[in-house]
Amino acid sequence: MSSFRKGDVVARRSHNMDVLFKVVDLFRRDDGSEHALLKGIDFRLLCDAPVDDLVVLKPDEIAAHWRSVFFRNKEHIRRCLTRRDDEFQKLRNNKTVETFTFPGTVLHVDGDEDYLELCLTTYKQMGVPAHGYVIAEEKQPQAVAELLPKHLPDILVVTGHDSFLPKKRDFKDISSYRNSRHFVAAVKAARAFEHDRDALVLFAGACQSHYEALLEAGANFASSPQRVLIHAFDPVFIAERVAYTPVSQTVALKEAIENTITGYPGIGGLETRGSLRWGVPKSPY
């Protein structure tokens, strides 16, 4: 076997080192060639590659990458908080009694433990109440059916890893995708619990997921319209926008999607009401 080990952070020469991956597993194909199963460290992609195509990244290169990721994420958070402050100030100016808010709550089901930890940290930074669970993609339909009655969230995020499988050519065929069928089944399980797309707002999908199938199954927002990679934080920024849009308004689709890291190629959705509720009066206690 090669000198590669599980946990190594690598990039692919054949793709100009464009995405950084963690080695999940090493295996040999029937022809004897050694391959690695890879997951993106900040893009929700799961794929495999021959080990002779891989380059192990140095610690300083990995650190530089994460600095760039967190800088970009911090800027998105700053824009979200600034937008909310501006919107809330306008609404408060029209009220004679001191108000308080109840943002929508999120149930986030993720196929990746590392991504979930990053997402929960970002929810906390943005003041979005969230519960998170690490559930393998193939087990998410059953988990969703069990977790929804427990938490009764306003927003459900079902995500993890996905990819359009090599050598497949039919983008309309659900079997051409690594995990899209599991996300579709999870969405259907959620809609069996709550069919109203405004009472329970769903984001579903990961990198290169079958966008049309997810929307047809009942998702409000989904990836990936152009079958591109999506960023680990993209579902969080959509959930935040829904959580802090008043129930009397629909989510500004254009602004919500443009404020994700991937944008229109990776994220799309349907007209949806927000989940934020205003209350009066604010208790002194």
The H helix count followed by the E strand count for the chain is 7, 13
**Does the pLDDT at position 90 exceed 70?**
yes
Domain coordinates of the chain in residue numbers?
A: 9-57, 83-279
Confidence of residue 139 (pLDDT cuts 50, 70, 90): very high
Burial of 261 (0-12, 13-18, 19+ CB in 10 A): buried
What's the angle, vertex CA 124, arms to CA 118 and CA 21, rounded to 5? 5
Give the list of residues 6+ apart from residue 162 with CB closer than 8 angstroms, or none. Answer: 44, 45, 46, 137, 177, 178, 179, 180, 183, 205, 206, 207, 208, 209, 223
**Does the pLDDT at position 24 exceed 70?**
yes
95 versus 97: the higher-pLDDT residue is: 97
The reported pLDDT for the residue numbered 23 is 93
**Does the pLDDT at position 88 exceed 80?**
no
**Does the pLDDT at position 85 exceed 90?**
no
Joined together, the tokens standing for residue 173 give: 């065929």
The yes or no reply on domain 83-279 and CATH 3.40.50.10090 is: yes
The reported pLDDT for the residue numbered 95 is 62
Joined together, the tokens standing for residue 251 give: 């989510």
Q: How far apart are CA 265 and CA 280, in angstroms?
A: 41
Contact 240, 164 (CB under 8 A): no
Contact 275, 201 (CB under 8 A): yes
Compute the average pLDDT of residues 123-140.
97
The reported pLDDT for the residue numbered 281 is 86
Compute the average pLDDT of residues 115-120.
95
Report in angstroms the alpha-carbon separations of 245 from 99, 109, 242.
16, 22, 5
Cβ atoms within 10 Å, residue 184: 25
Report in angstroms the alpha-carbon separations of 134 from 89, 95, 112, 207, 239.
37, 42, 6, 17, 18
The reported pLDDT for the residue numbered 93 is 66
Closest by CA to 209, choosing from 189, 238, 183, is 183
Cβ atoms within 10 Å, residue 189: 20
The reported pLDDT for the residue numbered 92 is 66
**Does the pLDDT at position 94 exceed 70?**
no
